[in-house]
Structure 1
Amino acid sequence: MTYEAKTPEEYISQLPDDRKLVVEKLRKIINKNLPKGFEEGINYKMLGYYVPHSKYPDGYHCNPKLPLPFMNIASQKNSVNLYHSGIYAIPELLKWFVNEYPKHCKRKLDMGKSCIRFKKMDDIPYELIAELVSKLTVNEWINTYESVLKKK
């Protein structure tokens, strides 16, 4: 499902009622724990957290007009998804998350390369997400991003 929104508030206002509370709570936790330097906005028609051009003028290599993406939240047809680029790019972070997940959630981890899907809204591991969000500073993310680009 895609939503046409210019602000996070506008995005959330378009969600079904049962998703609004979940996405608002995720947003609050992310904003509370996100290291300084990242910005929040709409990115790829989702709630986005990214490195602004003021901090990283080169932007995203696929489209330099876009800021460097880091994380997104999206309400999809059957789930609320958290997309975290650090999990995709840093094997140690992925390993940590996969190992910690069962300590915080009774359901099986439903995950793609950078996408964590939450199909049951009552069992989202908010504390674990808060910890995940705080794991990478802006500079660490930029360094990781650039080191991955150089390998290609």
Structure 2
Amino acid sequence: MAEMQQGKNKILMFRLLKDQSKEAAKLVFQTEHTFSYSRELDKIITKDGAVVKVGELETEVSIDAIQAKDDPVSDMLQTSVLKGEKLELWEVTVDEELKDQEGKYPAVYCQGYLDSWEPTASAEDESAVSSNFIVEMEPQFGMATLTEEQQQAVQYAFKDTTAVTP
């Protein structure tokens, strides 16, 4: 029997394209994101019936998060909007049941730009931020490695009661 995928297991990780030698990082307190794939389809009416002209793929990712204090990823993303810097984005499905033999997780990878950075400050709620990532070309599907530090940033794992030696 098929099981449902949990949205909480899909996280976004970011890196400036120019910083490819550095590790990608997770934006903390993500509340929701949406990958949108669309194509413009133009219906052309001919004397023989309608034909469809297929446009190019357009992909974007809308992002919502609660702002964390001193979050370097949030600062980097805001700066990328201000300076028009290209980013790398991964959507990683962190689900142990979907991990492959090499310990990698299913992922979508893409490059593009944030077209907005909208912090909100409500009197009754946490400070939040919304953004929209515009993907260049087509997203690529594959398997992604998470370092131990990245896995801990996603969710701490069970630890035994014994002392931990570095």
Common fold by TM > 0.5: no
TM-score by length of 2: 0.26
In terms of fraction of residues, the more strand-rich structure is 2
Q: Which has the larger radius of gyration?
A: 2
In terms of fraction of residues, the more helix-rich structure is 1
